[in-house]
Amino acid sequence: MSFTSSNLFLLPLLLLSFFLAGAIAVDPLSSQCSSPISNLTSSYDDPIYQTNLNKLMGYLYIKAPPTGYANASIGSSQHTTIHGHALCRGDKNATTCRTCLVEASNRIRKLCSSDEYKGAGIWYDNCLLKYSDNNFFGVIDDKWKLFLINTMNVSDPVLFNRKMNDLLGLLSDKAASNTSKLYAAGNVELDGSGLKKVYGLVQCTRDLSGVNCKKCIDDAISRLPSCCYGKEGGRVVVGSCSVRYEIYPFFNVDFIWYDNCMLKYSNEDFYGKIDNQNKFYMWNVSVDCKKCLDGVIDELPSCCDGKEGGRVVGASCNIRYEIYPFVNV
């Protein structure tokens, strides 16, 4: 979308300036400055470009958090138009998204002064922000790459990497088919016990098509062995997509179980679909029940002697008495 109005973004800019003053600084994963102004022709109009950049930041701040993504092209001429987008991680809510983008906008303007550069990008755990005088929408950006690893080694790298690659391959297909978000996360068991799992997350910037998203993710997955083979966690981040895996859950959980009920929510339609990824196991530990109960009963006088009711709860058993009925008959 393109914009030329001079006052359309006044309120967003005022809001952004207010929040920038109170934002808590968080270190980015990486940043990049591009299109040095010293290399540009004399047709570059600094004041107009600066104004358009301010408008872009205000627009992205307002429009990206509700859905997790926004892009825009602002300007009326080739030399003053600026293109930009903002993306938040697919499991983050609007508040977290907005907080991250405030910090990103603040930091990138300091790292890549618009007096010196016409393009910049910055990446955080929860969001990314990128702008340029060149229209980059729809084109895979794999020139910039970042590799992050968990330095701990797994015990069986062959099994682990097979399971991890299978998971990320499935997530790549899922993200590419989910064209409204281009995001997927999940887990897979490592040993069949339910106790050990590998968790994965993949995501693309939403200017890409589903086909290009899958191409970007698959290429990132193919780079994991060179940086992270046999490691408990790893991440490949490029300009248009990211891939990450860990042996612990690092994305938001969207389900919860109690003894008597279960609650699940998602921004994806899961009705009528079998969910066999989210599961856990519980079992009773073999103990001498009578010995446990006798020990608990022995504790009653120390807490409850002469009382109308009392309870002692242990890790393996518990006992309770009252002068009124407290169990279903």
Q: What residue ranges define each of the domains in the chain, with the CATH number in brackets?
A: 2-132 (3.30.430.20), 145-264 (3.30.430.20), 289-321 (no CATH)
Please measure the distance between the N-terminal and C-terminal CA atoms of the chain and give it in whole angstroms: 67
Give percent above pLDDT 70 in the chain: 77
Pure H helices in the chain: 10-22, 46-67, 94-111, 157-177, 210-228, 289-304
Does residue 64 surpass a pLDDT of 80?
A: yes
The per-residue pLDDT for 181 is 95
**Could you read off the pLDDT of 216-243 as tens digits, one per residue?**
999 999 999 999 999 999 999 999 999 9
Which DSSP letter does residue 38 get? G
The residue that leads in pLDDT, 201 or 296, is 201
Query: Which pLDDT score is estimated for 9?
Result: 45
Average the pLDDT over each of 96-100, 101-105, 305-309 and give the range with the smallest value.
Answer: 305-309
* Residue 262: predicted pLDDT: 66
Q: Which of 98-102, 129-133, 171-175, 267-271 has the lowest mean pLDDT?
A: 267-271
Cα–Cα distance list, 247 to 225, 231, 311 (Å):
16, 10, 39
Quickly state the pLDDT bin for 38 (edges 50, 70, 90): low
Q: Looking at the predicted structure, is the pLDDT value of residue 165 above 80?
A: yes
Q: Which residues contact 327 (CB under 8 A, 6 or more apart)?
A: none
> Does residue 264 or residue 24 have the better pLDDT?
264
pLDDT at 329 over 70: no
Instruction: Give the residue, 241 or 295, on which the prediction is more confident.
Output: 241
User: Which pLDDT tens digit goes with each residue over 79-97?
Assistant: 889 999 999 999 999 999 9
Q: How far is CA 41 from CA 75, 83, 113, 131, 289, in A?
A: 18, 19, 18, 19, 85
SS3 annotation, 300-322: HHHHHCCCCCEEEECCCCEEEEC
